[in-house]
Amino acid sequence: MTRTFASLLAGMLLLASCAGAEAPPSATQVLTGSGTPQPSRAKIVVSYSNVLADFFPAYVAKEAGIFDQNFLDVDLQLIASTTGLPALLSGQTQIAHIGGSEALTTTAGGGDVVVVANTGPVWPYQLYAAADIKTPADLKGKKVAIAGVGGTFDIGIRTMLPKLGLIPDTDVTVFSTGSTANATAALLSGGVSATLSSPPDTLKLEAAGFHSLAKMADLNLPTAATTIVVTRAFVNANKTVVQRYVDSIVQAIAKARADRPGTIAALKKYLKSDDDKGMQAAYDWYVGTVLKDPPLPTAAQLAGIQEVVAKFNDKVKTVDPAKIVDDSFVKSALDRGLLK
């Protein structure tokens, strides 16, 4: 965790303690003209941390009107991973789509958050390198680009490199660029020798002569690359809202599997791309492989990255992953047949 993130987190915790619990959106029941109970609409702000296909369930839920069907008025905002959890703790947002590494770090820093879903149970990245890098050993003495320190790219790199016989920060310089787009740009410009990537960016890199050295999915490691996080105070006060949000995500996954054209259209909008081939590749990878299983969060997934995250913050070792995971919302959605 960077000093900037640490100071932001400390400030947000102080703000939350001074101001008390954030005012929750209403989840009371109202009556329709026929007298049928109906949930009142809840307005919530939801963040996602990068312009990536990882977050396709949120994109689809928004564009297909699934949030609206579940009486949710969702303001979906792009907020960088370094500020996503401070924004959640301060009440600026109510739900965050963000790496499990940030959830662990925030908990270690005193933030009381809960992981209610995991839409990234498989590492979705490949290690792409310049043409002159033929083997992982060729990366010795070179730079590898990440998005932000302590973020998902960083944890991914530090998980992968040792498996390839390389020691991060010793054999390879891990270089922070600020965003996944910047990391890709750094490789394309020759500023670094490698970076992690996923579709559709992999197609862009391949077209420019870069190649894949290794696939993280081949490591078969439990992970929490993209999780849905809320504060414990919010979930305790707004369980019906959280359930409706998780329901929406589960329904969006089912929708994505059944509606390839509609999902690709959503990816084009949020990834700001008209590249049909790239968006189709992103669809096939994320819908067909990364989320082939239900988005159930588990303690094992967080434990799978805990050791690497603890290298940034020793306090992370004291976090019990089981205490920050609540799988009841996804289980409820599955029990009601929402993932058909």
Can you say whether residue 263 is alpha, beta or left, with left for phi > 0 and alpha for psi between -120 and 50 degrees? alpha
Separation between Cα atoms, residue 265 and residue 59, nearest integer Å: 10
Angle in degrees, 0-180, between the axes of helices 276-285 and 260-270, rounded to the nearest 10? 110
Give the model's confidence band at 41: pLDDT under 50 very low, under 70 low, under 90 confident, else very high. very high
Of 134, 137, 89, the C-alpha closest to 111 is 89
Is residue 6 pLDDT above 70, yes or no? no
Of 178, 184, 144, 147, the C-alpha closest to 164 is 144
| Cβ–Cβ under 8 Å, residues 83 and 151 | no
Buried b (16+ CB within 10 A) or exposed e, 64-74: bebbeebbbeb
For the chain, domains (ranges, CATH) are 3-14+40-121+223-335 (3.40.190.10), 126-219 (3.40.190.10)
Is residue 319 pLDDT above 90, yes or no? yes
pLDDT on residue 290: 87
Give the model's confidence band at 39: pLDDT under 50 very low, under 70 low, under 90 confident, else very high. confident
pLDDT on residue 35: 55
pLDDT on residue 80: 87
Separation between Cα atoms, residue 291 and residue 301, nearest integer Å: 14
Of 112, 111, 72, 115, the C-alpha closest to 97 is 115
pLDDT digits 0-9 by tens, 238-278 = 999 999 999 999 999 999 999 999 999 999 999 999 999 99
Of 61, 219, 252, 262, the C-alpha closest to 126 is 219
Rounded mean pLDDT, 11-28: 46
pLDDT digits 0-9 by tens, 141-196 = 999 999 888 888 898 999 999 999 999 999 999 999 988 889 999 999 999 999 99
Is residue 29 pLDDT above 70, yes or no? no
pLDDT on residue 25: 58
pLDDT on residue 264: 97
Give the model's confidence band at 101: pLDDT under 50 very low, under 70 low, under 90 confident, else very high. very high
Q: What is the DSSP string of 154-184?
A: HHHHHHHHHHTT--BTTTBEEEE-SSHHHHH
Rounded mean pLDDT, 271-289: 93
Is the alpha carbon torsion for 152, 157, 158, 160 positive or negative?
A: positive
Is residue 26 pLDDT above 60, yes or no? no
Residue 128, helix vs strand vs coil: strand
Of 59, 40, 87, the C-alpha closest to 252 is 59
